[in-house]
Chains A and B, each alone.
Chain A
């Protein structure tokens, strides 16, 4: 009669409870890390890719393409230069340009970016798979001191149409830099998009001019104070903007228009194709991603080494047990299989635990990640590529368990019942 091996395996695992549990936890954590890095990488990519669609070109001051994309669309970093309004106006009347949405950055509201733009923003900016922006409440700004807030701004600060808000100059670190004399009224709240728009306060370009009428070079001009009701007497037409989003009449002209802008004389401008620049960004970030992935693969290797170490060190304590098994009729092959089964079972259990931990973790941090970084973590158990990684981990475990299994096999050949412990 053959020995019921799996039964012995379970019994022997149970016999060394604490060491087994610790090994299991180490493997589970390493698997969580490996899959987490991979999942975060994929989801961050698709979040970035979904931020803007339907925009053919982005135009800004001549700097780096990636830099322009990051500050104009993702609100990461700052522009090195502005673009004069006359150039933007000229581009707007370019025969190949269907629409142009100017973007003026530089102010903030309680940590959220203020985006100065035109009402065209709501008509032309699309996210995801050509999804237009929708209003959850209210409507677009109309007057100078009207503002539209993104879903995240509304949710975290509790704004609804009618609320009064005060914008700050710059990133808003100093209370002295508040445009407190010119409060804004919220006229609309945008529906959630999962993009930086959610964390933006949108106002008209005239509003940006108006709040800076009595300002110069980043601070208030001493003794000059222009009350809000008088700003209408001033020229509020925009002088400079940060960047502009452009949609073309025909897509086929995109590379020609880009070249035209990039090689134009006068004020140096840079036109980029957002999707192309995003791919350039991924090529650079890809290096770091691979490093992260390699680190997490090493962590898995460490976890598996721990598994082997636990089994190997337990072997000397189990020499009598193995000898008894042999006396009961188990062949050296059975001992080998017993040890292999033990470690693979631990690896599989570790993977399962890791996947569950990852699921719990991602469910836990998803709202925060969305709110803070605009990265949408899609809740899922395991997808196909993750299954491949898991299979790899188990294969590696199988390979590593040959060491303790082989040792056990050797012992079982050499040892008699009279092993001295």
Chain B
């Protein structure tokens, strides 16, 4: 019967899955794919976003033209705007308490050498204080609108209700957190 081999089927499948799942845990640099983490500790929600620079602005070297400098500034501004980057449910009554954005090639105009063969990542961290953390069932990601090159976000959560993973895409930018399941 179909029931009998469940465990073996699951086990066998996992071995097949190993090569491409290994990358997820290691933190590989894959263009078009960003990573998002969410941690809830009491009333504090911390979201960490990390993306290859290419997925945000289309290049991964120090800006050479004015257009590229502007693109970097625009990307930084989009990441710094927590209200549009991530939307938490109104019922959770969250307010932004800190936003940190770390962009490569951001502040100094030119640091002397272009990195052609290394990758560059942009990072952002959003800290929210939520009066009703139990009402936090979904997170809607607005970053797909700001960055059309971004095709996928691998999102991982650790909340009081448990841990979970979701893959977000432009057409499916709302993340159901483990609590909501």
Interface residues of A (CB under 8 A from B): 33, 36-37, 40, 44, 49, 53, 56, 63-67, 70, 76-77, 250-252, 254-255, 259, 262-263, 270-281, 283-285, 288, 292, 365, 369, 372-375
Within 8 Å of chain A (Cβ to Cβ): is B112?
A: no
Q: Contact check, A53 vs B162: say whether CB atoms are below 8 A apart.
A: yes
With A275-B162, A276-B163 in contact, is A37–B22 under 8 Å at CB?
Answer: no
Contact string, B1-42, partner A, CB cutoff 8 A, digits 1/0?
011001101110111111101101111000000000101110
- Given pairs A255-B37, A279-B164, 20 additional interface contacts (CB within 8 A): A40-B3, A53-B162, A56-B158, A65-B22, A66-B18, A76-B14, A251-B41, A251-B159, A254-B39, A254-B158, A270-B25, A271-B25, A272-B25, A273-B163, A276-B157, A276-B165, A278-B163, A281-B14, A288-B13, A369-B3
Closest to B159 in A: A251
**B84-128 CB contact bits vs A (8 Å, 1 = yes)?**
000000000000000000000000000000000000000000000
Given A65-B24, A273-B156, are A77 and B39 also a contact pair (CB < 8 Å)? no
Nearest chain A residue, comparing its CB with the CB of B18: A64
Contacts of A285 in B (CB 8 A): 9-10, 13
Q: How far is the CA of A292 from the CA of B159 in the complex (A)?
A: 32
The answer to whether residues A40 and B2 also contact, given A77-B15, A262-B26, A273-B163 and a CB cut-off of 8 A, is yes
Contacts A251-B39, A276-B165, A279-B166; A65 near B21 (Cβ below 8 A): yes
Does B138 have its Cβ within 8 Å of any Cβ on chain A?
Answer: no
Question: In the complex, which of the residues B7, B39, B40, B160 has the most CB atoms of chain A within 10 Å of its own CB atom?
Answer: B7
Are A252 and B44 closer than 8 Å at their CB atoms?
yes
Would you mind naming 9 contact pairs between A and B with Cβ atoms under 8 Å apart?
A: A36-B2, A49-B162, A70-B11, A77-B15, A252-B39, A274-B163, A276-B163, A279-B164, A369-B3
CA distance A53 to B161 in the complex (A): 10
Give the residue of B2, B11, B22 whose beta carbon is less than 8 angstroms from that of A63: B22
For chain B, the count of residues having a C-beta within 8 Å of the partner chain is 39
Note all chain B residues with C-beta closer than 8 A to A262: 25-27
Known: A40-B3, A252-B46. A66 touches B163 (CB 8 A): no
Whether, in the assembled complex, B167 has its beta carbon less than 8 Å from a beta carbon of chain A, the answer is yes
B14 lies within 8 A of A70 (CB): yes
Partner of B17, one of A66, A369, A375: A66
Contacts of A254 in B (CB 8 A): 39, 158
Nearest Cβ on chain B to A145's Cβ, whole angstroms = 31
**Least Cβ–Cβ distance between A57 and chain B, in angstroms:** 10
Q: Nearest Cβ in chain A — how far from B154, in angstroms?
A: 9
Chain A residue, CB-CB nearest to B37:
A255
**4 tightest A-B contacts by CB?**
A275-B163, A64-B18, A279-B165, A252-B41
Residues of B148-175 at the interface with A, using a CB-CB cut-off of 8 Å, are 156-160, 162-167
Q: Are A373 and B17 in contact (CB under 8 A)?
A: no
Cα distance A372–B27 when bound, in Å? 36
Closest partner residue, chain B, to A250 (CB atom): B41
Min CB distance B13 to A, Å, is 6
CB distance B10 to A76 under 8 Å?
yes
How far is it, in angstroms, between the C-alpha of A251 and the C-alpha of B156 when the chains are bound?
13
Interface centre among B22, B27, B160 (most CB of A within 10 A): B22
